[in-house]
Amino acid sequence: MPEHAPFSEKNGFTLIEIITSIVLLTMVIAVMLPIFPQILNWSSQSEENLTASNLLGQVASDVKDHAGNLPLDGAPACGRMRSLTGGDLSALPSYPYTVELNVCKEEDVHLYRTNIQIFSEDDKLLSESYTYIKAGGSG
């Protein structure tokens, strides 16, 4: 009679080990799955804020370059601010976001204090900055 080799050697995985691995992997994926859409949302918001922040510098430069063409004459003394939007900003280039300028006149130093605000399409404030424009000319 031929002798059989003993079955004590373990070469491979049992069915229970494979099923357990699949179940654990499924649980890890199920826990991680809701995180990915949130990460994409954060990425989109960060990109929008970064773009608005970069645009803010461009708008400030354009405001100073085109100060002579902006309707600044009726700006009140500081304490109150006059809002320039839409048609008032026709001297400036068009931007992919909504830009609002709030202007007041600093009488002592002959400058216009300008608050620049960048809004998203859904009117959420993305970025804001202040700058000064020389009265009667470019900045």
pTM of the full structure? 0.60
44-84: pLDDT as tens digits: 778 888 888 888 888 888 888 877 777 777 777 777 777 77
pLDDT range class, residue 8, cuts 50, 70, 90 = low
Query: What residue segments make up the domains of the chain, in order of their start?
Result: 15-134
- Please report the DSSP string for 76-135 in residue order: PBTTS-EEE-GGGGTTSPP-SSEEEEEEEEETTTTEEEEEEEEE-TT--EEEEEEEEEET
Distance of CA 23 to CAs 33, 37, 135, Å? 15, 23, 72
